[in-house]
A and B are shown apart, each in its own frame.
Chain A
Amino acid sequence: MPSTFQRQSVGDFKYHVGISSLTQVASRDDRVCVLNILGGESSEVTPVSHVYSGGNVVCGTAPGKGGSVLETSIGNIPVYNNVRDALAAGHRFNCGVVYLPPSAARDGVAELIRVNAELRKIFIITEKISVHDAREIRAMGQQNGIDIFGANGLGVADSWNQVRIGGALGGDKPGDSLRPGSIAIFSNSGGFSTTIAQYLRMAGWGTTTVVSSGKDVYIHYAAPEFAFALANDARSKAAVLYCEPGGFYENDATFTKPVVACVVGRWKSKLTRAVGHAGAMAGGSDDAQAKERWFMEKFGVTELFTPENPVVSSKGAVVTNIAHIPAALTAVMRANATMPDFPAEGNLALKPWFGSDEGLDLPDELRLPVVEALAPYNEQVALLNTQIGGVVPRQTMKDASGASQMDAKTQVSSLHGTTMLNAATFALESNVALALVHDAGGENDRKLIAPAIAAFINLYGRPELAAAQASREAGNAPNAVLAAAAAIVGPKRQEAARAALKFMIERFHVAGLGMEFGASLSEDFEIARVDVGGQPGLTTDTPDARAQALIAGVEARGGRSVFLRWLQSLPGHPTEAAVLAALCATLAWGPLSRKRISRATAESFPWWLQLFGTLIGASTDASKHEPTRFSGIDQPELLGKLSLGEIAFAALLGQIPGEDDLFAFQTLVGLLLTNGPGAISAQGAKGAVSADGPEQPDRVQLNKALIGFLTHTGYAHGGNGY
């Protein structure tokens, strides 16, 4: 085994150091063998390093997988069972990278050293290596004159040589962070090595060599030897060090060039256990404040550098916030009559890529406007933003939608976050909205829901009325009567409205209708922006009476809708389906654009409204349905004046209610909105729908769901058959 006196030791260190200049850390001549090259992390990271470096990985090992390869865009890297086999196959290398798990890392180091006489450097990426093994790794390296980097590090990179060895410094695009310049970086944190390189670029400073040292108890290539190599590297004019508490390394370093030292970790003096960085630990004479003092002494400054108090000397500055590094460096270098390497590339100001205030009253300084992300992220964000409506995560089939919940302590149920006690105070229209678009909505919503449902209550001449009546006369329970009516109102009845609604949503989204509150009834929105081409069925040549009656009802109530406004601006006469679609679009737009509901939920809205109207109508005897009247109420009054609560009351009890009666009625309905999760009635609905295989949304039959619900409620349970 070769011994130390065959390998030159540099400097006057008490231990072996082989590297005399930073140019030797990651050079174009280095050839690399990666241990455990096919492991999860290495298989992602090694190809990137290999390509960036122009192909410096000559081979790798993976026990039992000899003969396979690691693919890269510039050619495959051969894999062997062990290092000896790799050498026997003719490969030669001077660097080893260790990606082995913690218990195997030490033996990997031993193998590299024993088997390959040409080995000069080892880079250990593995974290959580035991101190026991770290001691032995250090001793083996020292005895054989090997420079070791790490452990728990991210390797090294050199911007001038365009070489990266070891780990993922600079992420999957090292070139984005590593621009040649005059600053060397030494960092205890792997992630921050890249971050600091980026921050420096923003301020106009490029890099020479970047070293990620790790922060274990044993740091094998530490600040003293880095300082030495820095002194001997003509390319580097200065360095940035990022240090954490623990270890006397930095105290022993002698700097001959300007340095900005960032020391982070004062809070760690309070800990009794390490978090994240094994060596960065609790209060001793090598804690964060001690390190700050060491550096301040070396640089001849008496205070830390902050933008408000920019204390520097020509030897350096000390910061405790990485954001201050660029300014500190520029100030130090100015004191050395040196300008930045290139013009500033940008800034690090806050730039949110996504944001939402949810209508809250936040102070201006917290309402940061969303900005366009830098390329290529901006394209990805734009693509993401074309999606409207929420996406429900895949869940295993359970009664677990979360729509209905019950408070364990009070036994009070809630629907979409509204308790039944609150729902009992709402108008019937609001509870319809709560159930269907998850939001009770406001006054305008009520003005749209009432006529929309009312339009389908009078069933004169329709088969569903005949079906309900026949069922009633045969002595069926009330819910069976309703079910009979519901069974008729199938998919074809709402096809046109659904298609129109889908169309409207898409076109208005493209035209830029916003998601702020009130957007869907806005008077200002330019309806001309909405492209109308290619959708049949929105208008007809001859007036549609039902459509006109519905519009009249909405206008009589003072309801507003940008969709209806647009529809009326089109040539021809609106169809009933289109009007219904426009009202539904108005109601669904807010929850849809705020991602509370999915597209499928929004598009089902017309069908639900038809069904509710049908059920209210079918709940009363056929004799109450007359050509122009329902339960003695004229159609225009039904559509344009009465509230839904009043109409429903009249249907059930034969007269328009007074204030107290209406109150009692709506309270009752509100209280019964949900019995909590897992109720038998809900199971009935679910069973009916799942029988058709709801993975294909067009197979879902909402009226069937209602029938399932109705048939599973009766005299004994389920709201006592109401």
Chain B
Amino acid sequence: MQITGMLHGARLLEFAGFPTTDVLGPAASEEEIKAMLDKHGLIFIKPVFKGGIGKKGKAGLLGRAKDLQTALAEKERLYFAEHQVGHVKAKANGVTFEAGVPATHEVYFSISDSTHFRAPTMTLTHMGGMDIEELDKSQVAMVPFDPLTGLKAFVVANALTEIGAPKEIISPLVQQLPKLWELFHNFGMTTLELNPIRMREDKKGRLTPVACDFKCGFDRDDPRWLRLKLPPHLFAADYSNFEQEINTLRTHQGQSDVYVINDKGTVLAPTFGGGANSLVTEMLGDAAIISSDFGGNPPYEKMKEVARICFKHWLKQANVLFIIGGKSNNTDIFETLRAMADALREHFSAHGPTPLYVVVGRGGPNLVRGMGALRDTCDALGLPYRLFGFDSDMSEVIQFAKKIDLWMRDGGRAQVAQRLGIEAPATTA
């Protein structure tokens, strides 16, 4: 859950009392843009992306204008710009118009939780506006601090002195930067980055730090960010329909973490436990439809509902239903397997049969009873299956499921369809 850009960033910074440059959103009228140009002389036009995505400047996605015509032309160029960094693709929907701030100093500032120091850590340099990775280490301060007392003025001052920052920027930064900690810590952020902060000079030559860009990330498990009353659509794009449906079942009584890996995949693998999730997703690769963790001892009703939703979206295309986890510590295997078996039965009842091979690898309390319930259902529905206990190596079980999937793709599925009395030949992946 991330936000980039000043469209929302400016509002959050205002909330914290941190000075920002003037910002207009995509709905700005020509009069407003003209007024901004008149006041500031130079404005930047930036595409608005959902989520976090960087390196926009390098990709030529930064517009500048000193007159209205250019501003409007840049708006048109950037309104629906597309950008990709690594695996993350984004398409803009709108632009912001941001006033240029003339300055001789540009500062980079960020806070995040460092696993080196095991504490919230401030990264600060007076050589802002550029790629921080390219700077010499002696010019960048990375300072952990105590979250119970917060980011104190002296911490900022010491850091700036150590890296040899110009004296005139120290006092203004010391006054303003600590406010960002409050924003970060009290509203559920895990990262916050301002790059650049430009030091604006007033008539008397005093400097004020002005935020000219904004990036932050939120902690999904921290409800504090709700206090900011951000528009919900900002984060909705992160999830597919399927993921959103499962998320409505999210409680702390049993995880329901799920992620669509390949919507054309053929192995539907409800997985239990974070470790199992890692191994299974790694080994199945693109054959997997989802990566999931349904562990944590969910009660029968919840497990059945989760299964129902998974089947509704994915069972038709699946060759293998692969229920997998380690030897559970507290998840009741009878409750969970029975819930999935009943959901499978009901799915067949409502939608008719679909060719499927069932593979299970599991261990834990009430294991045999759970396997019995699933076995009875598979027998009743006419589905082939192999059920493994915890004394079979999990990665071997995963390999077995993969081989079954290959056999299904190679004509097995048609065979199963025929046995089940399904007339039209089912599509193979």
Q: A: which residues have CB within 8 A of B?
A: 14-15, 40-41, 44-45, 101-102, 127-136, 138-140, 143, 154, 167-169, 171-172, 187-192, 194-195, 198-199, 215, 217-220, 222, 242, 244, 246-249, 252, 264-278, 280, 283, 286, 320-323, 346, 348-363, 365-366, 368, 373-374, 377, 380-381, 384, 390-391, 393, 400, 402, 405, 407, 414, 417-419, 422, 594-596
Contacts and interface: CB of A to CB of B under 8 A. Distances in A.
Given A129-B221, A323-B393, A354 B387 contact: yes
A505 B325 CA distance: 38
9 contacts: A217-B115, A248-B116, A276-B274, A277-B277, A353-B388, A366-B404, A373-B389, A374-B389, A596-B380
B178 interface: no
A268 B285 CA distance: 11
B185 interface: yes
Chain B CB count within 10 A is highest, among A215, A352, A360, A377, for A352
Contacts of A139: 119, 146-148
B372 interface: yes
Nearest to A176: B327
Contacts of A246: 115
B291 to A, nearest CB: 5
Contacts of B88: 272
B275 A275 contact: no
B58 interface: no
B293 A354 contact: no
A192 B146 contact: no
B249 to A, nearest CB: 14
A667 B24 CA distance: 75
A393 B390 CA distance: 27
Interface string B242-282: 00000000001101011101000000000011111111011
B292 A595 contact: no
A350 B397 contact: yes
B379 A190 contact: no
Interface in B320-351: 325-330, 342, 345, 348-350
Q: Which 8 A-B pairs have the closest CB atoms?
A: A189-B275, A168-B329, A595-B379, A348-B393, A130-B222, A402-B349, A276-B274, A276-B293
B296 interface: yes
B297 interface: yes
B348 A402 contact: yes
B412 A198 contact: no
Interface string B346-369: 001110110000000001110111
A536 to B, nearest CB: 33
A402 B282 CA distance: 38
A321 B393 CA distance: 11
Interface residues of B, number: 104
B394 interface: yes
B419 interface: yes
A45 B387 contact: no
A135 B113 contact: yes
- Of B342, B386, B390, chain A has the most CB atoms within 10 Å of the CB of B386
Interface centre among B273, B293, B329, B420 (most CB of A within 10 A): B329
A368 B364 CA distance: 23
A132 B326 contact: no
B117 interface: yes
A352 B275 contact: no
Given A189-B278, A267-B285, A275-B257, A368 B386 contact: yes
A265 B275 CA distance: 10
Contact of B389 (A215, A267, A377): A377
A353 B387 contact: yes
B379 A350 contact: no
A377 B222 contact: no
B223 to A, nearest CB: 8
B60 interface: no
B87 A269 contact: yes
B416 interface: yes
B384 interface: yes
Contact of A135 (B119, B350, B363): B119
B190 interface: yes
A366 B407 contact: yes
Given A276-B293, A321-B395, A363-B407, A132 B188 contact: yes
